[in-house]
Amino acid sequence: MLPIPIKKFIELFSELPSIGPRQATRLAFHLIASGKNTIQEIERSLSDIKNLKNCEQCFFIATAPSNLCFFCADSKRRKDLIAIVEKPTDLLSLEKTRTFNGQYFILGDLAKAGVLETAQRLRIKNLASRMEKEFPDKNAEIIIAISPTTFGDFTAQLITQEFKPLVKKITRLGRGIPTGGEIEFADEETLRNALERRN
């Protein structure tokens, strides 16, 4: 019934977060109706994000031509305070509170299966050796800003074990965020409170 290009479009876009087949179909017809200029602009935007690279320190998006992101490159931010988050969108939610003035570290999406991927374990190990080198006096602080889900709790335990011998303080952000709730969707006030009253 549908031409192949539209079918292909729906197939691809249905795979994206928050978009199901119905939304993808609606989107396809909306774009066709919007005309060539709009579609070309979207093509250009896709091509631009294709070339972005991760920050070599925290895995957020680096600000070209630097290998670092906006946050890691900012000399006014504290280096001895690191919030470990799951996703870039969690970072943005925390940043919006304007309460946090440290560095971030992105772990990558936690799989629902309950096992950390090798790449994620490696990220944690690399951060640990960096902390060991940069803070031989162990005077840094780690904030675990991972959503209080079952697997989030498991990951938090793992991080605590890894960093306990290396830093002076490890806190978990979570108070005020309902169990099973997600940091990404918590409102600013809740997150600000969770940051200020972390334990």
* CB nearer Zn ion, residue 74 or residue 187: 74
In the complex, the residues that contact Zn ion under the rule CB under 5 A are 55, 57-58, 60, 69, 72
Helix (H, G, I), strand (E, B) or coil at 38: helix
Q: How far is the CB of 61 from Zn ion (least distance, A)?
A: 8
Helix (H, G, I), strand (E, B) or coil at 169: strand
Q: How far is the CB of 137 from Zn ion (least distance, A)?
A: 23
* CB nearer Zn ion, residue 58 or residue 166: 58
* CB nearer Zn ion, residue 57 or residue 190: 57
Rg (CA), the chain: 20
Which residue, 65, 61, 39, is CA-closest to 50?
A: 61
* CB nearer Zn ion, residue 58 or residue 83: 58
* CB nearer Zn ion, residue 10 or residue 106: 106
Q: How many helices (H) and strands (E) does the chain have?
A: 8, 4
Taking a C-beta distance cutoff of 8 angstroms, is the pair 173, 192 a contact? no
- Sequence-distant (≥ 6) Cβ neighbours of residue 190 within 8 angstroms: 176, 177
Which residue, 108, 74, 73, 68, is CA-closest to 88?
A: 108
Q: How far is the CB of 69 from Zn ion (least distance, A)?
A: 3
* Cα 4 to chain centroid, rounded: 35
Q: How far is the CB of 52 from Zn ion (least distance, A)?
A: 13
Q: How far is the CB of 105 from Zn ion (least distance, A)?
A: 8
